[in-house]
Structure 1
Amino acid sequence: MKKPLKEYELVVAQGRRPIWQLIIAAICFTILIYIIYWETILIWKNGFNVSTGNTFPAFGKAFGTLLALGISFSITKTVLIDTDSDLLISRFCVGPFSRDVKSKVPQLEYVSVFLDSKENYEVNLWYVRNKHYRMYDFDKKETAIEFATKVALKLKIDLLDATEKGNSKWIDLPKSQS
Structure 2
Amino acid sequence: MKPNIIISESARPIWQIPIAALFFTIATVILILGLYNLTFTEKGLIVFLYELKSSILFIAPGIGFTLTKSIHIDITNSRFRPTFNVGPLKFGSWQTIKNYEYVSVFHQPTINGDYVFEVNLWYDQNKHFELYEENDYKEAFLIGYELSEQLHIDLLDATVPNNFQWVNKDEWKSKIASETIE
Interval containing the TM-score (normalised by the shorter chain): 0.7 to 0.9
In structure 2, the residue matched to 1:171 is 167
**1:117-132 correspondence to structure 2 within 5 Å:** 117-118=109-110, 119-132=115-128
Aligned CA-pair RMSD: 2.5
In structure 2, the residue matched to 1:133 is 129
* Unaligned stretches of 5+ residues in structure 2: 178-182
Question: In 1, Cα distance between the equivalents of 2:118 and 2:92?
Answer: 24
Q: How many angstroms does 1:76 deviate by?
A: 2.4
* Unaligned stretches of 5+ residues in structure 1: 1-5
Q: Does 1:40 align with 2:35?
A: yes
**1:37-116 correspondence to structure 2 within 5 Å:** 37-43=32-38, 47-116=39-108
Q: How many angstroms does 1:140 deviate by?
A: 1.9
In structure 1, the residue matched to 2:7 is 12
Q: 1:169 to 1:76 in 2, by over 3 A?
A: same
Q: How many angstroms does 1:160 deviate by?
A: 0.8
- Matched-pair contact (CA < 8 Å) for 1:122–1:138: yes
TM-score normalised by length of structure 1: 0.81
Runs of 4+ with >4 A deviation: none
Length, aligned pairs only: 170
Q: How many angstroms does 1:82 deviate by?
A: 1.9
Question: In 1, Cα distance between the equivalents of 2:164 and 2:93?
Answer: 33
Q: Percent identity?
A: 32
TM-score normalised by length of structure 2: 0.80
- Matched-pair contact (CA < 8 Å) for 2:100–2:124: yes
Question: Secondary structure at the residue paired with 2:52?
Answer: helix
